């Protein structure tokens, strides 16, 4: 698996399907990324399973 993978997610604000680039060289990470459609700040949480495949969750920043 490459260290950068494009993952499809749904924006928690506008509901559009978008792609985010995920760094698969780190087991756990959390960062804020703006939706390219509505520009709202999403909190992106990434965890890797034992085989290095990412699970990505996008939520409203700060639980808003």
pLDDT (0 to 100) of residue 3: 86
pLDDT (0 to 100) of residue 16: 98
The whole-angstrom separation of Cα 61 and Cα 59 is 6
Query: In this structure, how many other beta carbons lie within 10 angstroms of the beta carbon of residue 11?
Result: 19
Confidence check: pLDDT of 64 > 60: no
Nearest to 47 by CA among 57, 39, 38: 57
pLDDT tens digits along 4-57: 899 999 999 999 999 999 988 888 999 999 999 999 999 999 999 988 889 999
Q: What confidence category does residue 2 fall into, taking pLDDT thresholds of 50, 70 and 90?
A: low
């Amino acid at each position: 698996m490459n260290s950068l993978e494009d993952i499809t997610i749904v924006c928690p604000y506008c509901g559009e399907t978008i792609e985010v680039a995920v760094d698969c060289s780190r087991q756990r990470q959390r960062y804020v990324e703006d939706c390219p459609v509505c520009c709202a700040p999403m909190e992106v949480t990434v965890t890797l399973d034992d085989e290095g495949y990412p699970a990505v969750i996008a939520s409203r920043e700060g639980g808003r």
